[in-house]
Amino acid sequence: MDFDVAVLGAGPTGLSLANLLGTMGIRTILIERNASTVDAPRAVSIDDECLRTMQAAGVIDAVVKDIALDYGAHYFTPTGECFAKVEPKDREYGYPRRSAFSQVKFEATLREELKRFPHVTTLFSTNCSGFVEDEDGVTLSLGDEDGPQRQIRVRYLAACDGGRSAARRAIGAELKGSTYRERWLIVDMADTKERMRQTRVGCDPDLPFICLPGPNGTRRYEFMLTEGEDEKMAEDPDHVRDLLSRSGPDEDATIIRRQVYTFHARMVDKWNTRRVFLAGDAAHLTPPFAGQGMNSGVRDAHNLSWKLAAVIRNELGPALLDTYQKERAPHAWSLIELAINIGRVMMPTSRLQAKIVHTLFRLARFIPPVHSYFAMMKYKPKPFYRDGFLLPDNGLNVTGRMLPQPNVEDLNRKTCKLDDCLGSDFALVAYGENAQKVLALTQGEDFGLASLRRLAVIPMRINIDRSADLTIPAVRDIDDTMAKLGVQGRDLLMLVRPDRYVAAAVDATQAQAHGANLAYFSASLRELVARTRPL
């Protein structure tokens, strides 16, 4: 094999996947038909899960330099009254729920960061004219505009080649869902006079629009076109200036991009064959209203990367790759549905509908749980897998969920984020007052995994036990973020996957008295690992 994995497409999904595979030591080739990464604005919102993936890829410091962290959204009536505010404060996964970024700078940074890895090759200005999959791998035919075709052999192909994916057609996958008739005009500004930090949403049936902040004084406006409105006229500079004058102070700002687009809510019926995997827009197309299209693609990359690495290194069997669609498809579709529902609020079709929506949101202010549900962005579906590489939930309501990420402190009072203690492998994490003792009892257990870090996480209210076995790493949750697991007063033992999802959990509160729970837990995990290997 020339490489272990070929990544087709150097958009956010492909670049994230290549960086993740690079950190895992996988021989990777990234193939992109264009000469460079994008040079015009595209996605503008990046979420906490995506930033956590950038942390896993080792690029968070480089990426965050070009991000305006932490902003929300304010919704306005046609008369300018703010009827709803979404300002999430929670940082359950270590980062703000929503931040503004430039995809141009984001992609350029991820491309530059690939230079860290001698085992990752990048080929720009290179077209993949086709591929053939066989029992042992995939043969790709590559070439550029002037040069001859050549072939390379890889074990696996990750197709991140966008909404018009040729790889999707090649494996016989079909997009299912809807394309909506509403069209939107995007206007990207190089500078802005609008000083409001939050997204401003104009819920006006006559002129639905969104005004989104960007990093370094940039801003985006999005206007919904009326029925029958000509696209060329909509992009006319004078018409754009008129729209800007009706929606904010940026009538005279510098425009760097004007484009009309139609949005889709669609997902493929088949995410992969045995050796070819679709990711990002090649697998699903998301309406823009929740800012989740690009972020969903990065989730695909994180899910797929560690599974490919584990199989290539023979740590887990090839049946592990069958869990990719099982895990990603339901979550991706839940975010598509979220975007559709937010769109209904953003673009009322009549004044009556707008008035009803605005009134309901005003009334919600007087019902604290309902108000908090919207204001704290709790309506966003949490990462949750019901089926895949995990054990059945045993009533703890922890398995299949993403592990919270607190800031933690060790015995030397050195602080960091939790993931920095976990590394890129599987981790056995104990949480609770007696977490150190629980982990000590696991020392002789076989969990079926060759590489397994151990970490004890102590609740905020408790100090690390200095009399315990100090060869077992222990940290204290200084934010009390892990309390969100909802197991107050108990000791919990979890197997955490490289993508930070909990594969299995057991109540280890009584483990000090007897090890039956731990023995059953380890046996169940050995069986889970065994199921990934052929009979």
Residues forming beta bridges with residue 505, ordered by sequence position: 494
The predicted structure's pLDDT at residue 514: 47
Q: What are the angstrom distances between the C-alpha of 152 and each of 3, 125, 145, 156? A: 8, 16, 18, 12
| Tokens 């401003």 found at | 200
pLDDT digits (tens, 9 = 90+) for 353-365: 767 776 777 777 7
| Intervals of the chain under pLDDT 50 | 513-514
Alpha helices in 402-465 (DSSP H): 418-422, 435-441
Angle between helices 293-312 and 12-23 (to 10 degrees): 30
* β-sheet with 407-409: strand ranges across: 415-417, 407-409, 474-477, 452-458, 426-431, 492-496, 502-507
Set out the domains of the chain in order of their start, with CATH numbers. Answer: 3-68+101-174+266-326 (3.50.50.60), 407-530 (3.40.30.10)
The predicted structure's pLDDT at residue 280: 97
Helix (H) or strand (E) holding 247, with range, is helix 237-247
The predicted structure's pLDDT at residue 118: 98
Cα–Cα distance between 127 and 123 in angstroms, integer?
Answer: 9
The values of phi and psi at residue 324, to 5°, are -60, -55
| DSSP category for residue 10 | -
The predicted structure's pLDDT at residue 465: 94
8 Å CB contact between 178 and 263 = no
**Parallel, antiparallel or unpaired: strands 98-101 and 45-47:** antiparallel
Is residue 229 classed as helix, strand or coil in its secondary structure?
A: coil
The predicted structure's pLDDT at residue 290: 72
* Amino acid letter for position 227: E
Closest CA to 478 of 195, 169, 94: 94
